[in-house]
Amino acid sequence: MAEETVTATFDIYRYEPGKDAAPRYDRYVLDLPPHTPVLTALLKVRAEIDPTLTLRYSCRSAICGSCAMQINSKSRLACEAAIGPELARDGRIVVEPMRNQPVLRDLVVDQGPFWDNYGKIQPHLILDPRHPMPEGRENPMTPAEVDRFKETPRCIACAACYSACPAVEADPAFPGPMALAKLYRFVVDPRDRAQQDRLVRIQTEGLWLCLRCHLCTEACPKDVRPSERIRDLKEMAIAAQGATEQGSRHAVAFKENIRDRGQLNEMKLARQTFGPIGLIAQTPQGIRIARKKPELLHAPHAIEGQDEIEKIYEALDDGKTKEDLP
């Protein structure tokens, strides 16, 4: 028996830089079963209507990571996203290339910067020559050691996180969620001998530009949860090196700030984070805000039970990270 079909309208981004004056959206209307993956529909368009439609794909099984694109403005693997739910919600399916990477043609983007950022974190084991790999056998890990990787080995490098990241969009100094999740994987690898160096380096190479907005974790089709591993890296970097960068200084200053009174002293936080010299550059904006919001300049009163806060810090603020828990 023939399967029930739905009429699906696709608006597909088309652009060939250097040839087209501007991007356009071509509309295709197809009758397809609702469970059809968007990728299958795109291949049907290419096979039957327009052989010039350009896209990247390979395995069609959500494991190669090639077909990440924006489907109705959300990062998706085209081979995984069925047309039915998209049509039910938006009435049509808008297919666009990933963001934060230049378009080469239609749905294909230049992944060069994405892979460059990955390369910079040295995504391979760095061994200590004084502790060579055991001759003639592999270097095994215990199951508990493997568990420390958390979800990071699931990453298929599809770049959905890179496409969704507002820090990548705004600042080329940020290496992106995938590179940092991969870095985490090597930092917790017991066979790697460069943990300290890796943590020290990343502090100056973009770690503290993460906004902890969790857009990457939401975009990831494999639930790698990069934002949570970036948080772990930040805590480990502070434990390894102390507060040496503007970002780590700010996190540690905030922590110390709350210890004083139990709630935030905004003015003091600015002073602690920027230091006396850095504060000068912030002063005009501070005055501008304080004219409307004079509380900015006043220290808050201490909360009731401030002594409890002090005792909690005494018990728990000992330089250990969650990774150190027995």
Partner 1 sequence: VKLAYYPGCVAQESGKELDMATRWVAKALGIELVSFPSFSCCGSGFIDEANEVLNVALNARNLAIAEKAGLDLLTICSTCQGMLTLANLRLGDAKVKARVDGALRPLGIEYRGTTKVKHLLQVLTQDIGLEAIRAKVTRPLDGLKVGAFYGCHLLRPADEMQWESAEEPHSFEDLLSVLGASPVYYRGRVMCCGFPIQFVKPATASKIAGHQIDDAKAHGAEAMATPCPLCHISLDAYQNQAAKAVGHALDMPVLHLPQVVGLALGASPDELGLPRHLVSTTAVTDRLRARA
Binding positions for partner 1, rule: CB under 8 A: 73-74, 89, 166-167, 169-171, 208-215, 217-218, 225, 227-228, 231, 234-235, 238, 246-248, 250-252, 254-255, 258, 262-264, 266, 269-270, 273-274, 282, 285, 288-289, 292-293, 295-296, 298, 300, 303-305, 308-309, 311-313, 315-317, 320-322, 325-326
CB of 54 to partner 1, least distance (A): 24
* Residue 192 or 245 with smaller CB distance to partner 1: 245
* Residue 156 or 224 with smaller CB distance to partner 1: 224
Angle between helices 266-292 and 246-261 (to 10 degrees): 90
* Residue 47 or 287 with smaller CB distance to partner 1: 287
Phi/psi at 289 (5° precision): -75, -40
* Residue 140 or 319 with smaller CB distance to partner 1: 319
Q: How many angstroms separate the CA atoms of 85 and 291, rounded?
A: 50
CB of 235 to partner 1, least distance (A): 6
Q: Are strands 103-105 and 93-96 parallel, antiparallel or unpaired?
A: unpaired
CB of 14 to partner 1, least distance (A): 21
CB of 172 to partner 1, least distance (A): 10
What number of other Cβ atoms are within 10 A of residue 274's Cβ? 18
Nearest C-alpha neighbor of 236 from the set 120, 152, 148:
148
Q: Which residues are CB-contacts of 168 (< 8 A; sequence separation ≥ 6)?
A: 100, 162, 174, 176
Whether 152 and 229 have beta carbons less than 8 Å apart is answered as: yes
* Residue 48 or 90 with smaller CB distance to partner 1: 90
CB of 53 to partner 1, least distance (A): 24
- DSSP symbol at 297: G
Which 3 state secondary structure label does DSSP give 9? strand
DSSP character string of 250-294: HHHHHHHHHHHHSS--HHHHHHHHHHHHHHHHHHHHHHHHHHH-G
Nearest C-alpha neighbor of 80 from the set 62, 65, 98, 55:
62
* Residue 54 or 244 with smaller CB distance to partner 1: 244
The amino acid sitting at 299 is: A
CB of 214 to partner 1, least distance (A): 4
CB of 219 to partner 1, least distance (A): 9
What number of other Cβ atoms are within 10 A of residue 278's Cβ? 13
Tokens (6 digits) for 259: 């210890």
* Residue 43 or 296 with smaller CB distance to partner 1: 296
Q: How many angstroms separate the CA atoms of 116 and 220, rounded?
A: 20
CB of 66 to partner 1, least distance (A): 22
* Residue 222 or 234 with smaller CB distance to partner 1: 234
Alpha helices in 108-204 (DSSP H): 112-120, 143-147, 160-164, 166-170, 177-187, 195-204
